[in-house]
């Protein structure tokens, strides 16, 4: 019965997905429980901030610049038809601060830092480093996982803010410097339309949520990876796929909650 | 976090040959550090260990030998408390390991050291930081003192000069010795070795074997070596257990083992191809598999 | 990597992140232009506010002088009650009139203030009595058609 088998397969996958979400949530709670140590010894977090935050800087800045420039170009072409080129600044800034900044930065973060985290922890597990740590009476969640989690959570809003800031300059460069939109209206309309709490802080909040989700997925996949070469590479792929989908779905939900009715 | 006082930090001074009695360890009536009684363990109903009885006397170096997959490593994991037995128990220093809660288990593990199969050095830390790891995690010693201790441990394994290197820059034998220095960093009472000889060249093999013996005696520790390297381990150990399919099939001193005329032990010690352990994995009729007729 | 180099880079990273946030707040957002603390509240009733929204700007002679803080429907008068917060640097006479205007043909709506001649100034909690509602396009077209029909009838 192929139909029954197909339905059974769907059921199996659904159960598996729910089970993994449950395990990841449990893992998240464990991380929070064992986070005390990483704040007492903050240099553990600083070391991870370097490999997650600083190492992602270049890709974030370059990507932000180009996304802003494209927004400037496309926005100008569209707005020109309605004779409202002066609203270019508004369009670039709102697009970046509300959506593209948090989302694209989080997607890049997932593929740059998230996959590296999964691979590193998966390899640590495969080479018995995690078992060794446990045998030394050191809790690996407190010592290895929690500092990486907090580094991810801290660096994500900063990276998103830098992405947006650089993107606005990219839009400014294309719109004002290259095309010749009036500089005064570019900035003043932008400032009139972008609200600090409504737009910027909600963007920061979004990136904070994305940072948490991406880091938990990356760490869970690494910690859960089968200790083999295929296991680690599969986990790395799953990190990028799962966290990208999670970012986009959560973005829809968060946008619906935050910006509804405006 | 429990503070470790000075007495726990006995220093290994360049591995001086000195007997265990020098540390005046209280000799208990049993004088066994680890007792394993009727230990059974199964993964999903598949039995791995069946009725293991074993004692590790204080100050002794004991080897557990057997074929790959016979449950040796599983046994070590039970001693370290990483697995819970299906029935029976493991006693460490008089306490039942699997009845301890997380904190008590961690307190117990501080008295143990374990050398993993390929060393399991932390790849994101230098050799120095690897050896210093447990001192930093478990003690509040000042950094200068940790420096001296790390240098002594590294000197004991002859690798003081490598303290700035990363684990990836070491050869297999050197990595194993650094891991050994890390294992004994807090002077454990019990040292467990999981396949310490796997993948080593003959020189490194002799060096590591010699270090295992000397560290055991210098620290007054008790050691258990899980291995299938017969010749090297028979040279250094005090007592041998032979395991096959989750049960202990033979035990004795190295001399008794060498002289043993039991089929399995003889095949194992002399590395013969066929014997009680068959060369062929059970399969169907060979002719049938080749589609030959007649 | 040396601890000091590490600290330096992470420091640069954090400072860069904070600088980006501050830049977004001051240069891109309205935090640099609009000071919430020094303002006073007045309100006005409009029979139709059109597309006016909270946070819409209030301008006098084209200068931004405040923002709309809240819009509710008054159940006694069935008119829209618009709360406005005005910058306390600017004072307006009691008979100031408020108009709902549109910036450009398709732009967003704002409130324009025109100062009257009275000596007394508006204080916090006062009401602007002279208001002009938003121009609703449908009404405008309806009026135009009506007048055309009358013209042809005459």
Tokens 């470790």 belong to residue: B4
Which strands sit side by side in the sheet containing B87-92, from one edge to the other? Answer: B46-57, B32-43, B87-92, B95-96
Q: Return the pLDDT at A2.
A: 82
Average pLDDT over residues B188-194: 90
**In the predicted model, is pLDDT for residue B286 greater than 60?**
yes
pLDDT in tens, B242-285: 888 888 888 888 888 888 777 777 777 777 777 777 777 777 78
Nearest CB among B109, B122, B124 relative to A135 is that of B109
Spatial distance between the Cα atoms of B158 and B152, rounded to a whole number of angstroms = 10
What is residue C18's predicted lDDT score, i.e. its pLDDT? 92
Whether pTM > 0.95 for this model: the answer is no
- Whether B and A touch, i.e. at least 3 CB pairs below 8 A, reads as yes
Arithmetic mean of pLDDT, A212-237: 93
The alpha-carbon gap from B137 to the nearest alpha carbon of chain A, in Å, equals 7
In sequence order, what are the residues at sequence separation of 6 or more whose Cβ sits closer than 8 angstroms to the Cβ of residue B153? Answer: B12, B131, B181, B182, B184, B185
- Dist. CA A157–CA A109, nearest whole Å: 11
Higher per-residue pLDDT: A41 or B276? A41
The answer to whether residue A190 scores a pLDDT higher than 60 is: yes
Largest CA distance in chain B: 80
pLDDT of residue B13: 40
End-to-end CA distance of chain C: 93
Average pLDDT over residues A221-240: 93
Confidence of residue C32 (pLDDT cuts 50, 70, 90): low
**Chain B interface, mutation test: which of A127, A141, A232, most B Cβ atoms within 10 Å?**
A127
CB contacts of A136 in chain B (<8 Å) are: 109-110, 113, 133-134, 137
pLDDT band at residue C34 under the 50/70/90 scheme: low
Highest-pLDDT range among A174-188, A209-223, C29-43: A209-223
Of A180-184, B26-30, B221-225, the one with minimum mean pLDDT is B26-30
Which is more confidently placed, B280 or C149?
Answer: C149
For residue range B44-83, what is the model confidence (pLDDT) as tens digits?
A: 778 888 888 888 888 888 998 887 777 888 888 888 888 8
Task: Name the 3-class secondary structure at C67.
Answer: strand
Chain A residues closer than 8 Å to C106 by CB: 82, 84
Average pLDDT value for chain B: 80
Q: Does residue B15 register a pLDDT over 50?
A: no
Report the C-alpha gap between B124 and A124 in whole angstroms.
10
pLDDT for B93 equals 84
pLDDT value at residue A28: 94
Residue A22: pLDDT band (50, 70, 90) is: very high
Q: Which residue of C has its CA nearest to A57?
A: C13
- Averaged pLDDT score across all residues of chain C: 83
Q: Identify the pLDDT of residue C51.
A: 79
Structure token digits, residue A154: 């801290």
- Cβ–Cβ contact A200 with C under 8 A: yes
Average pLDDT, integer, range B190-211: 87
Contact of C21 with A161, CB cutoff 8 Å: yes
* Residues in chain C within 8 Å Cβ distance of A157: 17, 21
Find the range with the poorest average confidence among A66-80, A100-114, B80-94: B80-94
**Model confidence over C105-131: pLDDT tens digits?**
666 788 888 888 888 888 888 888 888
% chain C with pLDDT above 70: 92
**CA of B195 vs chain A CAs: smallest distance (Å):** 13
Hey, which chains touch A, using 3+ CB pairs under 8 Å? B, C
* Cα distance between the two ends of chain A: 52
- Alpha-carbon distance A226 to A63, whole Å? 34
- State what percent of residues in chain B have pLDDT above 70: 88
CB contacts, 8 Å: B120 with chain A: 127-129, 131-132
Asked if A137 lies within 8 A of B123 by C-beta distance, the reply is no
Mean pLDDT, chain A, as a whole number? 91
* ipTM tops 0.85: no
Neighbours of A183 (CB within 10 A): 13
Tell me what pLDDT residue C104 has. Answer: 67
Q: Measured between alpha carbons, how far is C79 from C72 in angstroms, rounded to an integer?
A: 9
Give contacts of A93 with chain C, Cβ < 8 Å: 28
The partner residues of B248 in beta bridges, in order of sequence, read B243
A/C interface, count of CB pairs below 8 Å? 91
Q: What is the pLDDT at residue B30?
A: 52
Among candidates B106, B116, B118 on the partner chain, residue whose Cβ is nearest the Cβ of A137: B106
Q: Which residue of B has its CA nearest to A137?
A: B106
Handedness of CA A40, A46, A49, A51 (dihedral sign): negative
Q: What is the pLDDT of residues A117-142, one digit of tens each?
A: 999 999 999 988 998 898 888 889 99
């Amino acid at each position: 019965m192929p139909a029954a088998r197909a339905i059974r397969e769907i059921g199996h996958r659904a159960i598996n997905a729910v089970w993994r979400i449950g395990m990841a949530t449990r893992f998240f709670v464990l991380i929070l429980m064992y986070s005390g140590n990483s704040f007492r010894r903050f240099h553990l977090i600083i070391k991870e901030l370097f490999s997650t935050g600083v190492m992602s800087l270049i890709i974030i800045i370059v990507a932000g610049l180009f996304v802003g420039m494209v927004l400037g170009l496309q926005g100008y072409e569209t707005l020109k038809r309605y004779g409202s080129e002066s609203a270019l600044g508004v369009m670039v800034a709102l697009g970046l601060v509300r959506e593209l900044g948090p989302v694209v930065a989080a997607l890049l973060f997932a593929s740059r830092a998230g996959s590296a985290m999964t691979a590193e922890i998966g390899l640590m597990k495969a080479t018995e480093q995690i078992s060794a740590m446990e045998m030394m009476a050191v809790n690996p969640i407190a010592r290895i996982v929690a500092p990486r989690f907090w580094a991810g959570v801290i660096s994500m809003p900063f990276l998103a803010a830098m992405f947006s800031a650089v993107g606005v300059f990219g839009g400014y460069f294309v719109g004002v410097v290259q095309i010749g939109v009036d500089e005064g209206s570019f900035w003043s309309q932008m400032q009139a339309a972008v609200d600090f709490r409504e737009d910027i802080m909600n963007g920061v909040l979004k990136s904070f949520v994305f940072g948490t989700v991406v880091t938990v997925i990356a760490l869970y996949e690494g910690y859960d990876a089968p200790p083999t070469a295929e296991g680690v590479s599969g986990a790395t792929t799953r990190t990028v796929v799962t966290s990208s989908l999670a970012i986009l779905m959560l973005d829809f939900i968060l946008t619906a909650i935050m910006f509804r009715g405006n | 976090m429990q503070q470790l006082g000075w007495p726990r930090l006995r220093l290994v001074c360049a591995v001086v040959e000195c007997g265990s009695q020098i540390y005046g360890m209280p000799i208990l009536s049993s004088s066994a550090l680890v007792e394993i009684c009727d230990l059974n363990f199964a993964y999903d109903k598949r039995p791995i260990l069946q009725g293991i009885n074993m004692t590790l006397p204080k100050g002794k170096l004991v080897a557990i030998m057997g074929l790959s997959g016979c449950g040796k490593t599983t046994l070590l994991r039970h001693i370290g408390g990483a697995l819970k037995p299906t029935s029976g128990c493991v006693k460490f220093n008089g306490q039942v390991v699997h009845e301890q809660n997380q904190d008590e288990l961690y307190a117990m593990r501080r008295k143990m050291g374990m050398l993993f199969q390929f060393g399991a050095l932390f790849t994101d830390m230098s050799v120095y930081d690897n050896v210093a790891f447990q001192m930093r995690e478990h003690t509040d010693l000042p950094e200068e003192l940790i420096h001296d201790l790390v240098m002594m441990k590294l000197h004991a394994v002859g690798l003081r000069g490598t303290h700035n290197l990363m684990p990836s820059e070491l050869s297999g034998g050197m990595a194993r010795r650094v891991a050994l220095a890390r294992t004994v960093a807090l002077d454990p009472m019990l040292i467990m070795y999981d396949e310490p000889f796997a993948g080593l060249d003959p020189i490194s093999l002799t060096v590591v074997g010699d270090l295992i013996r000397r560290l055991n005696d210098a620290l007054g520790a008790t050691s258990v070596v899980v291995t299938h390297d017969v010749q090297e381990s028979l040279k250094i150990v005090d007592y041998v257990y032979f395991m096959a399919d989750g049960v202990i099939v033979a035990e004795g001193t190295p001399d008794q083992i060498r002289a043993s005329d039991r089929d399995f032990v003889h095949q194992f010690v002399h590395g013969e191809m066929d014997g009680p352990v068959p060369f062929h994995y059970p399969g169907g009729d060979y002719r049938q598999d080749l589609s030959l007729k007649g | 990597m040396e601890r000091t180099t590490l600290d330096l880079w992470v420091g640069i990273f954090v400072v860069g992140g904070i600088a980006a946030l501050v830049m977004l707040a001051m240069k891109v957002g309205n935090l640099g232009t609009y000071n919430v603390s020094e303002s006073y509240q007045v309100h006005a009733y409009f029979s139709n506010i059109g597309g006016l929204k909270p946070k819409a700007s209030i301008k006098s002679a084209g200068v931004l002088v405040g923002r709309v803080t809240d819009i509710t429907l008054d159940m006694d008068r069935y008119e829209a009650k618009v709360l406005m917060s005005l910058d306390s640097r600017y004072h307006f006479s009691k008979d100031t009139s408020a108009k709902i205007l549109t910036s450009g043909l398709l732009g967003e709506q704002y409130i324009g203030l025109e100062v009257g001649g009275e000596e007394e100034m508006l204080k916090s909690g006062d009401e602007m009595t002279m208001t002009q509602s938003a121009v609703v396009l449908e009404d405008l077209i309806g009026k135009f058609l009506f007048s055309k029909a009358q013209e042809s009838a005459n």
